[in-house]
């Protein structure tokens, strides 16, 4: 079985985003960029399935600028076998990304497509579900545990009330949640080896996909700032304050 793992290059998890003064967006100049953490979990899960003998090949895919090659090299260093960059400097919305991934899936015929539940930049949480719809295949979103069972994949999902388990006929799409696994760090020898792995560069036009945006962002603003209140001396003072607020 082949697993496709789409990955996105985003602002690093530890960087606090700064909104540009003119309201045109978030300042990404000279900001550290990394692989979307949820996608990293997807890469790790795919590698674990391969290590367990459930998958033969892992293909990492990214839709983004030339620099997204770095993100793909990271996936290759972790253990993906080859990579495809669909290069574009445009901002590509989840719907167009899903259309590109569908075209790649038609060529590659994977058993699973595994990707993060959301990217930490636009927080859309859409691409996996949209890809599943376009491919007319089942989806296991917000995965906490993934298990291959013959022609099916059993996904335990993190839902608001707890956990839910669903059984999906493959090919299927799985989106990963935080607690699925802890991604490995790539070792130095693997980073060196990754440089020699195949990385194809394509464009959205190669897949016949129009990436024109459907949503226009007219403004990006700082969220309202909450003012710090006061500190109280001891529990008695806190109790008084709480009683004044009508709590208890």
User: By CB under 8 A, what part of segment 87-106 binds other proteins?
Assistant: 93-95, 98
Nearer to other proteins, 120 or 191 (CB): 120
HSE toward the beta carbon, residue 83, CA cutoff 13 A: 29
Task: Provide the sign of the torsion angle of the four alpha carbons 108, 114, 117, 119, taken in this order.
Answer: negative
Q: Which one, 174 or 194, has the nearer CB to other proteins?
A: 174
Site for other proteins in 58-87 (CB under 8 A): none
Question: Residue 189 forms beta bridges with which residues?
Answer: none
By C-beta, is 196 or 226 nearer to other proteins?
A: 226
Tokens representing 130 are 């949209």
Span 177-196, contacts to other proteins by CB under 8 A: 177-179
Binding span for other proteins by CB under 8 A among 45-53, 56-64, 184-192, 219-227: 219-227
Contact 69, 199 (CB under 8 A): yes
Q: Does 138 bind other proteins (CB under 8 A)?
A: yes
Binding status of residue 143 toward other proteins by CB under 8 A: no
Q: Which of residues 31, 66, 201, 239 is near other proteins by CB under 8 A?
A: 239
Give CA separation, 149 vs 3, 4, 105, 155, in Å: 15, 18, 21, 10
Could you tell me the two tokens for 176? 């990963």
Residue 22 interacting with other proteins (CB under 8 A):
no
Binding to other proteins (CB under 8 A): which residues in 23-42? 26
- Length of the chain (residues): 248
């Amino acid at each position: 079985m082949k697993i496709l793992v789409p990955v996105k290059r985003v602002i690093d998890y530890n960087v606090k985003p700064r909104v540009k003064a003119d309201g045109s967006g978030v300042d990404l100049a000279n900001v550290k960029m990394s692989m979307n953490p949820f996608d990293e979990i997807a890469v790790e899960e795919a590698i674990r399935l391969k290590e367990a003998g459930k998958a033969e090949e892992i293909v990492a895919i990214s839709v983004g600028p030339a620099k997204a090659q770095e993100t793909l090299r990271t996936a290759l260093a972790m253990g993906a076998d080859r990579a495809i960059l669909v290069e574009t400097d445009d901002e590509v919305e989840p719907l167009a990304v899903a259309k590109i991934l569908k075209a790649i899936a038609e060529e590659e015929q994977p058993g699973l497509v595994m990707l993060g539940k959301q990217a930490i930049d636009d927080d859309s949480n859409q691409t996996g579900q949209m890809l599943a719809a376009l491919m007319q295949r089942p989806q296991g979103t917000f995965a906490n545990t993934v298990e291959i069972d013959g022609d099916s994949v059993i996904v335990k999902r993190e839902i608001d009330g707890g956990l839910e388990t669903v059984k999906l006929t493959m090919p299927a799409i799985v989106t990963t949640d935080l607690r699925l696994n802890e991604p490995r760090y790539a070792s130095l020898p693997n980073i060196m080896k990754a440089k020699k792995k195949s990385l194809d560069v394509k464009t959205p036009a190669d897949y016949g996909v129009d990436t024109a945006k459907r949503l226009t962002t007219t403004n990006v603003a700082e969220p309202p700032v909450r003012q710090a209140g006061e500190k109280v001396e001891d529990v008695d003072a806190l109790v008084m304050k709480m009683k004044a607020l009508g709590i208890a």
